[in-house]
Structure 1
């Protein structure tokens, strides 16, 4: 297993072995061209429950995407650790990982039973409206989507151009919230 935890990483290039689970994986495409992959994103979690955001940029995404499956555990080495993005962070961590062409990935076959599977920070549904304009973090919530409005143009005070928005209604066991 890895010789370092996520909590001990510091900004810079790192060649040591980090044992992580790929808790979540998704692709981010150019909003203006849905055929252009900008990067693949991952939420990684170590055996201590620490989490970190990772990104893989083209053209090396083709090298790593077949090797990494959501839910599996890996030893990774030769990564770049950098300051986290300013906006839309999936986890609370001041640093993140970039895969490089030198990064190595090896699947761990015998995973300890206590190795965490997921990481999240749930927001109570009644607190969602206060997170609408918060762009620092993604928001995790449990509920059922009961309605999605059509797209309409909105001009925020901080911008000079219209932005397309829609209203999403989410319900938990007690109430519905429009965000």
Structure 2
């Protein structure tokens, strides 16, 4: 018997034999960095799915599963997914604020489907700059912020050997905030800004942890290969 169609909002740990019609809105690889050698080791690949209700759920694909689901899963692609398991979400550093997540195994079916406007490309749950200090070292859920880039430094090497770059964001209430980008995002951000047609960039940055607060400046560390989205790329409602 064919599985029944379901929405992400209806899922629970007891859910079985349902089919999700979703978009892979974000895909990124998670790494650990050896402090002595500065070498990176890939831990897993994470995927965030979104449905027509704009509900989201995360999937972790382990390295020994990667050949089964990539390159089949592509960022922006639409899929029917069935024969998966619903499991407890991570207890910390969560990119999706949810108590549940998806788990795939050898029985899981992932079928590419035609593009549809019913499922948005992105959904952002933005944290106001004024609320950031209250989230200092809150590691349960990573946050997302948006602002105008007013300053940025050159990429530099941190004490652990990783590349980093600080950027200064300004929001609509004239509050400033420093965001630190790491590795690929640090290396590519300056080139992306230089290519901006109007010389200014309003960006949304995801996957952030509040690390320190000093006066009116917040230092936010971007972790887990965050996304940096320019306004011109957005084709969805920003929440």
Partner SS for 1:89: coil
Cα distance 1:39–1:12, how it changes in 2: closer, same or farther (>3 A)?
farther
For residue 139 of structure 2, the aligned residue among 119, 135, 138 is 135
Q: In structure 1, what is the Cα distance between the partners aligned to 2:119 and 2:58?
A: 18
Partner SS for 1:54: strand
For residue 25 of structure 2, the aligned residue among 19, 23, 26 is 23
Q: TM-score, normalised by structure 1?
A: 0.80
For residue 146 of structure 1, the aligned residue among 143, 147, 152 is 152
Q: TM-score, normalised by structure 2?
A: 0.61
Q: Counterpart in 2 of 1:115?
A: 119
**Unpaired runs of at least 5, structure 1:** 154-163
Cα distance 1:45–1:96, how it changes in 2: closer, same or farther (>3 A)?
same
Q: Counterpart in 2 of 1:160?
A: none
Matched, 1:92 2:90: no
Aligned residues: 167
Partner SS for 1:59: helix
How far 1:168 moved relative to its partner?
Answer: 4.4
Cα distance 1:62–1:30, how it changes in 2: closer, same or farther (>3 A)?
farther
Coordinate RMSD, CA, aligned: 2.8
How far 1:27 moved relative to its partner?
Answer: 0.5
**Unpaired runs of at least 5, structure 2:** 178-217, 220-239
Q: In structure 2, what is the Cα distance between the partners aligned to 1:97 and 1:132?
A: 28
Q: Counterpart in 2 of 1:170?
A: 168
1:100-151 Cα offsets, whole Å, 9 max, x none, are 122111111152x232221221011233333230101111001336358874
How far 1:13 moved relative to its partner?
Answer: 6.7
Q: Counterpart in 1 of 2:231?
A: none
For residue 54 of structure 1, the aligned residue among 59, 62, 67 is 59
